[in-house]
Amino acid sequence: MTSSVSLLFGVHAHQPIGNFPEVVIDAHERCYKPFLQTLYRYPEFRFAIHFSGWLLDFLFEHYPQDMALLREMVTRGQIEIFGAGDTEPVLAAIPERDRIGQLKTFSTKLKKKLGQPPQGAWLTERVWESTIVPALVNCGIRYVIVDDYHFICAGKNKTELDGYFTTEEDHHTLDLFPISEALRYRLPFSPAPEAIAYIESLIDQTTTEHQPAAVYFDDIEKFGIWPETYQWVYEHGWLEKFIQGVLASPHIQLQHYRDYHASEKTRGIVYLPTTSYIEMNEWTLPAEPAHIYDDLVQQAKSTGQYEQTRSFLRGGMWKNFFSRYPESNWMHKRMLDLSARYASLPTRQRTSAMQQCLYASQANDAYWHGLFGGLYLPHLRRTVYNNLIELEALLDQCTPRSTSYREDTDLDGTEEIYLQNGAVQAVLKLNNRASICELDSYPLKHNFADTLARQTEHYYRKIQPDLQGTSSHQQSGIASAHDRVSFKHAISQADLEPDLYAQHLFIDHLNDELLDYQLQHPSDQADEVIFQAMTDFGSINKCFRITGNQLLVSYVCSGEASGHMQTEINLAMPSCDGPGGRYIRNHTVLSGFGQPIELDDLTAITLEDDTLGGSLSLEITPATKLHASPHFTVSQSEGGFEKIMQAVKLTLTWKVVDGQQQHITLHFDEMNTAA
């Protein structure tokens, strides 16, 4: 029997494209810099690291000295660099041609910046589908790491998972390393001696003559950014204690993945199911199924059956996020359409700017939500749309689109009508709401309809007034963010009430009842779209038209009119409740977007936004009453439960008068031309 265990230690460093610079700077100061500087002092401590492409570019630009340190550690053989898609996409969620392009782009970047092309690859969120194998193999990747949970779901026993296995797809073979869940939860949260003792204990668990491996690869942000970890890892010395303990152990052999892969044979063939890590499989489920799943897991744990049954308690799959969140699905399907348009261009017309926009729009973070803010963070979705809109404008210069056309973009069974003139694009949902689901200004590269509806989340049942400000952790070491119950903001029950409909633009009520519309003018060549709602007293016609950098919306009521009408306009303003956004009327600043306002007899108002670099002005004839308020959602993050402003909700109210026309104009301006 072997007397040692090979420790394959790896960390993954990532920041979302579009994250706030101050957040990345803080992450560098509290994590990336001290981690590298600590490891640099121990050249014999070998490890693997993966930086996502955008983060690597940021660090090279802003911290060249630290990156010189990184390169030296690569050169002296201390670090093995892992590849991935350049913008950290979920490979299973993008087309095959883009998988190959993303992988090759990042491998080329690693070779240029660090002098080492990768043999191994990090899988974003460890999302596994066998369809990704050919792209990885064709790009020179020989092995990837996924969770041991993936293998357990395929029928493997934990004691078997001390080396790598081989899989294949369409005659492409790829080797797979199983990341130890037990190590993921111990490092860096358990005291260093306990973590080292656990690694040493794996020697006694091996059942073969192979050299056993303890496989660890997880987020580097756990080493300084997660709550309490900076003090624990650096100020209290956990990392140095761990390094010194590993190096002093006669039973732990530090190896690179590439060296272990070269010296050991595969443990055999394996075919993994479509899955991700175990927490993700809960996050992908809607609230009610997630409750059931979580209850089953807790029941299995309480009866001591969890380890035997968890491979059959699998939860959902990552792509469920597209069916859970219509907003995520819409972004994804828009991205797929633009990817196809880009791919259909003759090679000579494709530009690096187009490719960069496409790849940036495929960054995973804005498409899903779990422990981290993800989809709930407006600035991450905004970055996706910035790139989609810029890409669409570039493609339109090469292959102009019709100014009006219909399709079912998001595959929900309801078509949309696109109206666009190169400056403005309005996408109208052809359901009975007759609302705008996307409203783009091409000069501003912004989608003003990029809002998010409130829906019930599984973790809402943790939000109780008596728990606010507490933590559930009572063990030695420090708590993982997975085990915490903490609050960044006070949350009320009213904050958790789900929205009754999508937070689109121009959702209409008559006497507090939602109006049901039918399309009246469906011509693909029309420069306007007209809907009609039938009421007890007559009809209401609603017309959309774009001209120049304006959207024109008008209403005409006919019949025995009475009561009042309201339209709700949900606007994604980048500054949200920050200091850069403000309401302006008659050259006077009224307030920021985070404060509610009431105005009577409104004929004009401007929403000016520094982050946007422009403004949106409303002109209304005849005058209406305005109620404006922030629209918040509640989500969880590694820092606790929080309220996030998603939109400015403008509600215009006017008295219904037979035959009277109500006109609302939205005018988009860049800041240097804004009034």
Tokens of 639: 């820092």
Torsion of CA 147, 149, 151, 152, to 10 degrees: 160
d(CA 334, CA 9): 38
Residue found under tokens 């996706």: 384
Residue 662's DSSP bridge partners are: 555
Look up residue 245 and give its amino acid: G
Tokens of 267: 């443990």
Give the DSSP H/E element, type plus range, for residue 407: strand 404-407
Residue 631's DSSP bridge partners are: 647
333 and 415 in contact (C-beta within 8 Å)? no
- In degrees, rounded to 5, the angle at the alpha carbon of residue 131 between the alpha carbons of residues 127 and 137 is 95
Tokens of 242: 């761990």
Tokens of 158: 């934990």
Residue found under tokens 């003003």: 448
d(CA 357, CA 636): 29
437 and 429 in contact (C-beta within 8 Å)? yes
Taking each helix axis from N to C end, the angle separating 64-75 and 33-40, rounded to the nearest 10 degrees, works out to: 40
- Residues with a catalytic annotation lie at 125, 219
Residue 50's DSSP bridge partners are: 12
314 and 153 in contact (C-beta within 8 Å)? yes
138 and 102 in contact (C-beta within 8 Å)? no
Tokens of 515: 């109006």
Tokens of 654: 């006017």
